[in-house]
């Protein structure tokens, strides 16, 4: 076993990890970051697109794992997209240096202030809306599509049709900002640069255009000279030592998933940023394996951010459906949040399958009326999730209401093409909570019952935020790490 010491260790290179790394490195701290996925930029391996899944398509699986149409067999490789299967829900996550930012749709949505206040009554909302949200929009390079390009580009027919139909049905639509560089996309369209969003690249990684974390926070952190990122380092568990330091055990793997070395890292300060499910796995598994101290709130207050997928078939058949060419980057949404009976937000999602499948796809984001709970089954060595149909009753009702209203106004049927019964209750892209700010941690993410352990990722958000979550995750991480540094938590 190889042994190393580090003053500050961060596990995971997604939003929470990248923010923590940058701010600590700027403050002059030496940081080691362990990431189980591959450093794609360094490896120089291109990402594959939706129509031709290759190396980047799946985390060590023999078959692709897109939400639909998995007909492709693969040679297992440490790809960017992983799916965690539970009894009643499947959760997709990103793997690699940059975490979820490598595979996500880049939708950069600031939550509604009223809902943010409801979810986080103890935070100073004014400070978030005047400082932290603008800060992260700048750091993440958030921009908005040019309206004329949107109206003219054939690749956005699905958005134009979706919006037109929503208006006919009496819904309000909104423009959704993104981290994908829309000026780059315009050049793609004019064939001046290599295509990415217009070449069905997204959930297996974008070769161009998308400002994922490796191009923003992580690049800046590396430029300080204080950050070392070790990729293909899969952390197995953590141990609390008598002197209140931590020893972290990791498998160093190759791109086929074989273990090439066992490594241990001893650190004074440990930041968990392995994403909601990754962080919960590390905490709960370490507790099961070596009695790692846990607070009773760890695992509690978990939610799917109200994720609920649905679709409609034969959208405007006469005008040619939603188009055979589709950009992978969503820019439109239906905002029905103010409706007291049926509050939801839904993304007008692309379905770029290389042909016109006459199907409109929607990812609804609802309130989470009934939260779930994450635990660990020691005998089977797996995370378990207390979550079933009873948790999604209201989400299904909202989806039904939405589809019915859209079909009444525009024609169309529920999409049996994509889902059993037309609904995908079991599809989750936004797992949140389980290590909630102020419940399992103090008000800045320091884990209760510990002196040197912090959680800074999606697990801090109590299961719901009403919109796509990474802008909020990034802002909360900025807020926490700034205050932790100010309190001299990292004065070593």
Candidate ranges 7-15, 44-52, 153-161, 383-391; the one touching ligand FDA (CB under 6 A): 7-15
Distances (CA, A) of 185 to 49, 118, 391: 16, 37, 39
> Least distance to ligand FDA from the beta carbon of 462, Å?
14
Q: Which of 163, 430, 439, 450 is catalytic?
A: 430
What is the H or E stretch that residue 21 is in? helix 15-26
> Least distance to ligand FDA from the beta carbon of 291, Å?
19
Distances (CA, A) of 410 to 161, 168, 256: 10, 7, 49
Is residue 231 part of the contact set for ligand FDA (CB under 6 A)? no
Nearest to 473 by CA among 279, 237, 209, 229: 279
Is residue 162 part of the contact set for ligand FDA (CB under 6 A)? no
**Which residue of 24, 150, 235, 271 would you call a contact of ligand FDA, by CB under 6 A?**
235
Nearest to 367 by CA among 301, 300, 307, 306: 306
Retrieve residue 343's tokens.
């509050």
In angstroms, rounded to a whole number, what is the distance separating the alpha carbons of residues 95 and 70? 19
**Which residue of 203, 267, 272, 484 would you call a contact of ligand FDA, by CB under 6 A?**
203
Name which of residues 265 to 324 contact ligand FDA (CB under 6 A).
273-276, 278, 282
Q: Is 295 a catalytic residue?
A: no
Q: Is 430 a catalytic residue?
A: yes
Is residue 16 part of the contact set for ligand FDA (CB under 6 A)? yes
Annotate 134-167 with b (16+ C-beta within 10 A) or e (fewer): ebbbebbbbbebeeebbeebebbbbbbbbbebbe
In angstroms, rounded to a whole number, what is the distance separating the alpha carbons of residues 216 and 229? 15
> Least distance to ligand FDA from the beta carbon of 265, Å?
11
Question: What secondary structure letter does DSSP report for 129?
Answer: I
Q: Three-state SS for 490?
A: coil
Is residue 12 part of the contact set for ligand FDA (CB under 6 A)? yes
Is residue 457 part of the contact set for ligand FDA (CB under 6 A)? yes
Residue 358: count of CB within 10 angstroms of its CB: 19
> Least distance to ligand FDA from the beta carbon of 12, Å?
3
Is residue 263 part of the contact set for ligand FDA (CB under 6 A)? no
User: What is the separation, in whole angstroms, between the first and last Cα of the chain?
Assistant: 26
> Least distance to ligand FDA from the beta carbon of 15, Å?
4
Retrieve residue 255's tokens.
């791109």
Is residue 374 part of the contact set for ligand FDA (CB under 6 A)? no
DSSP strand pairing (259-272 vs 2-11): parallel
What is the pattern of x (binds ligand FDA, CB under 6 A) and - over residues 23-62?
A: -----------xxxx-------------------------
By annotation, the residues acting in catalysis are 347, 430
Contacts with ligand FDA by CB under 6 A lie at 11-16, 34-37, 92-96, 99-100, 103-107, 203, 234-235, 273-276, 278, 282, 429-430, 457-458, 468-470, 473
């Amino acid at each position: 076993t190889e042994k190393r010491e580090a003053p500050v260790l961060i596990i995971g290179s997604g939003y929470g990890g990248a923010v923590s790394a940058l701010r600590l490195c700027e403050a002059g701290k030496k940081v080691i970051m362990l990431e189980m996925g591959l450093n794609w930029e360094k490896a120089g391996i291109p990402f594959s697109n939706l129509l031709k899944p290759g190396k980047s398509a799946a985390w060590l699986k023999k078959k692709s794992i897109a939400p639909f149409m998995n007909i492709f067999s693969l040679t297992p490789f440490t790809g960017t997209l992983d799916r965690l299967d539970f009894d009643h829900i499947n959760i997709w996550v990103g793997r690699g240096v940059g975490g979820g930012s490598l595979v996500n749709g880049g939708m950069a949505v600031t939550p509604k202030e009223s809902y943010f206040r409801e979810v986080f009554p103890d935070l100073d909302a004014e400070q978030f809306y005047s400082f932290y949200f603008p800060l992260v929009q700048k750091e993440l390079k958030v921009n908005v599509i040019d309206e004329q390009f949107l109206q003219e580009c054939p690749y956005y027919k699905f958005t134009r049709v979706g919006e037109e139909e929503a208006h006919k049905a009496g819904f309000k639509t909104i423009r959704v900002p993104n981290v994908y560089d829309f000026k780059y996309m315009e050049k793609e369209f004019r064939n001046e640069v290599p295509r990415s969003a217009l070449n069905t690249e997204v959930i297996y990684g974008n070769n161009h255009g998308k400002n994922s974390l490796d191009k923003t926070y992580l690049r800046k952190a590396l430029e300080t000279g204080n950050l070392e990122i070790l990729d293909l380092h899969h952390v197995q568990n953590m141990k609390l030592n008598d002197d209140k330091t931590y020893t972290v055990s990791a498998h160093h793997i190759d791109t086929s998933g074989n273990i090439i070395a066992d490594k241990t890292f001893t650190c004074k300060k440990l930041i968990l940023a392995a994403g909601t499910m990754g962080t919960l796995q590390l905490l709960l598994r370490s507790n099961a394996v070596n009695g790692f101290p846990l607070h009773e709130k760890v695992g509690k207050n978990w939610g799917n951010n109200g994720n609920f997928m649905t679709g409609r078939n034969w959208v405007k058949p006469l005008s040619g459906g939603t188009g055979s060419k589709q950009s992978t980057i969503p820019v439109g949404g239906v905002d029905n949040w103010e409706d007291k009976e049926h509050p939801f937000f839904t993304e007008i999602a692309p379905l770029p399958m290389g042909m016109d499948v006459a199907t409109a796809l929607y990812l609804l984001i609802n309130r989470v009326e009934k939260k779930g709970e994450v635990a660990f089954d020691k005998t089977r060595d797996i995370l378990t999730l207390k979550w079933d149909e009873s948790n999604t009753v209201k989400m299904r009702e909202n989806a039904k209401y939405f589809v019915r209203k859209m079909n009444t106004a525009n024609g169309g049927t529920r999409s049996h093409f994509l889902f059993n019964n037309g609904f995908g209750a079991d599809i989750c892209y936004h797992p949140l909570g389980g290590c909630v700010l102020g419940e399992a941690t103090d008000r800045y993410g320091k884990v209760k019952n510990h002196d040197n352990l912090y959680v800074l990722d999606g697990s801090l958000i109590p299961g719901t935020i009403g919109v796509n979550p990474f802008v909020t995750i990034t802002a909360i991480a900025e807020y926490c790490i700034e205050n932790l540094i100010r309190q001299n938590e990292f004065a070593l």
